[in-house]
Amino acid sequence: MNHFPGTWGRPRDDVYGPYDSSYLQTTGPKTHTQSPAVTGTSVIAVKFKGGVAIAADNLASYGSLARFTDVKRLRKFGDAAVIGFSGDVSDMQYIDRLLESIDIRENYSAHGNQLNAKNLHTYLSKVLYKRRSDFNPLWNHILVAGFDSEKKPFLSSADLLGTTFSAPHLATGFGAHLAIPILRRLFPEERSIEEISKEEAVSALKDCLKVLWYRDARSMDKYSLALITQDGIEVHEDQQIEAQNWAFAESIKGYGAQTV
Amino acid sequence: MFRNNYDNDAVTFSPQGRIFQVEYAQEAVKQGSVVVGLVNKTHAVLVGLKRNAEELSSYQKKIIEVDSHMGVAIAGLASDARVLSNYMKQQCLGSRMTYGRPLPVNRIVSQIADRAQTNTQQYGKRPYGVGLLVAGMDEAGPHLFEFQPSGMTQEMLACAIGARSQMARTYLERNLDKLEESSRDELITHGLRALKETLSQDKELTVDNTSVGVVGLADSGKVESFKLYEGQQLLPLFEALDKSDASETKDEETMEVDS
């Protein structure tokens, strides 16, 4: 160690050659807001008869490091909605502060006019789109679960570009690849939401979380699950993925130090 | 030299604790032609008497649609009302854009109230010379608000502002219990009758000088968009008024026979 902090933690010049200091950028535009740092992985959600179920694990990764293991990525908005965040955790906290201030403002003069999940989703998608248009995106992919103005279950997503998408079941991040096929098999298009019970939706989400825990290296077996029904919102935090069976791992070949 | 030293601006109190400019602005509302507003459980109705500056001119608009769930009736300076209603239109569009929901009525009313109050407390400004009746529909049902240049607003069951509006208010007070239980069409009839009360001897309601605005909850349970009745569209409403007037006089006659 020497007395030049600028060289601390960097490869030694005598071993690796001169460091490319153009990355240091003493001048020039700020770029650290244009990529995520601490991230949460998938959020998955399913509509069922009379409500919506949504789940996400409790992990916030720093790159590939499992850095924070008790991060709640499902946020309640009053009694109206649950918002699930994947992507950058600090941006999630910023959006959470926005939502908090809206909630306070709305409750000053409620008069029976509460924002519903659909209103929130519209608002959040505009915020995300505004920030991407400033070249300073909020690095999140969010799912909003709740009810619309006609008291029908509502589920929709918005990503860091402000793109919105809605479907009876949704997943962000790795879940879009691993959970959606499972959910599509369990709840095919021709099956109406009216036929899906709450228990069925919850067990489907648990199955998906387990598959994600098996196969997504940025996931964890501790998770939160929220149920939004007309009776209110139940959030179950610190849940554990049960009945794990890693036997399948024996048959996986082709990665790492395996020689056979 | 001055009759009154305390009315040169809107920020100075008189020794009696009055702000004359604000009172003069309220006088402008009383000079404006009359508008009536009333609500029942499902609907809010605005009725206004339009004036034409001269025989050959058109009539000044009295009821403005702000958004599909809200309208305002104006009494006083129409140009000030335009400024306020344009602001309300913008706020309503903003709410629909960012949240995808119609702006709650009490919210927009308190916003214009704040704007109007600011004008009574900052040097070099003048109060709005217009009173408004804001009728709208939101999740909590139909609403009617009265707005005054002082920045005072109140939610009302029925209200009338403008020239000779006392006659209409008297009618509304006498019939308040009937209003609440009335149907949509009966509510309009009550509004027209209240408006008729304010007319001077030589005047009557015509399709040219009357405006009616209705917003509320349709039978389907959905919001019935703000509808403005003007010109020939008023004829069915006048017919309903005549019919109910006729049945009322008949009632009175039979009562006389009874006694």
Considering only CB atoms, B98 lies closest to which of A113, A114, A126, namely A126
The CA distance from B76 to B48, in Å, is 12
| Owner of token pair 């048959």 | A251
Domain boundaries, chain A: 38-241
pLDDT digits (tens, 9 = 90+) for A146-162: 999 999 999 999 999 99
Ranges in chain A, pLDDT < 50: none
What's the pLDDT tens digit per position in A155-209? 999 999 999 999 999 999 999 999 999 999 999 999 999 999 999 999 999 999 9
Output the pLDDT for position A220.
96
Gap between the Cα atoms of B97 and B131, Å rounded: 28
CB neighbour burial string for B28-67, b if at least 16 within 10 angstroms, e if fewer: bbbebbbbbbbbbebbbbbbbbbbeeeeeeebebbbbbbb
pTM value surpassing 0.90: no
Q: Determine the pLDDT at residue A21.
A: 73
Set of chain A residues whose Cβ sits within 8 Å of the Cβ of B100: 118-119, 122
Decide if A111 and B99 are in contact by the 8 Å CB cutoff. no
Whether residues A119 and B107 touch (CB distance < 8 A) is answered with no
Residue of A nearest to B94 (CA): A123
- A123 interaction partners in chain B (CB closer than 8 Å): 98-99
Q: How far off is chain B from A32, nearest CA to CA, in Å?
A: 28
The CATH topology of domain A38-241 is Glutamine Phosphoribosylpyrophosphate, subunit 1, domain 1 (3.60.20)
Give me the pLDDT at residue A230, please: 95
Q: Walk me through the domains of chain B, giving residue ranges and CATH numbers.
A: 20-258 (3.60.20.10)
What Rg do the C-alpha atoms of chain B give, in angstroms?
A: 19
d(CA B74, CA B81): 7
User: What phi-psi label fits residue A206: left (phi over 0), alpha (psi between -120 and 50 degrees) or beta?
Assistant: alpha
Nearest residue in A to B99, CA atom? A119
The verdict on whether A41 is a catalytic residue reads no
d(Cα A103, Cα A107) in Å, to the nearest integer?
Answer: 6
Catalytic one of A27, A33, A39, A163: A33
Residue B170's alpha-carbon distances to A26, B39, B44, B198, in angstroms, are 76, 16, 19, 10
From A109, A111, A119, residue closest to B99, measured CB to CB = A119
Tens of each residue's pLDDT in chain B, 259 residues = 667 789 999 999 999 999 999 999 999 999 999 999 999 999 999 999 999 999 999 999 999 999 999 999 999 999 999 999 999 999 999 999 999 999 999 999 999 999 999 999 999 999 999 999 999 999 999 999 999 999 999 999 999 999 999 999 999 999 999 999 999 999 999 999 999 999 999 999 999 999 999 999 999 889 999 999 999 999 999 999 999 989 887 766 555 555 4
The span from the CA of A9 to the CA of A1, in Å, is: 9
Q: What is the pLDDT of residue B241?
A: 96
State the best of A98, A114, A115, A122 to mutate against chain B, taking most chain B CBs within 10 Å: A122
Q: Quick check: A122 and B98 CB within 8 A?
A: yes
Q: State whether residue A113 is helix, strand or coil.
A: coil
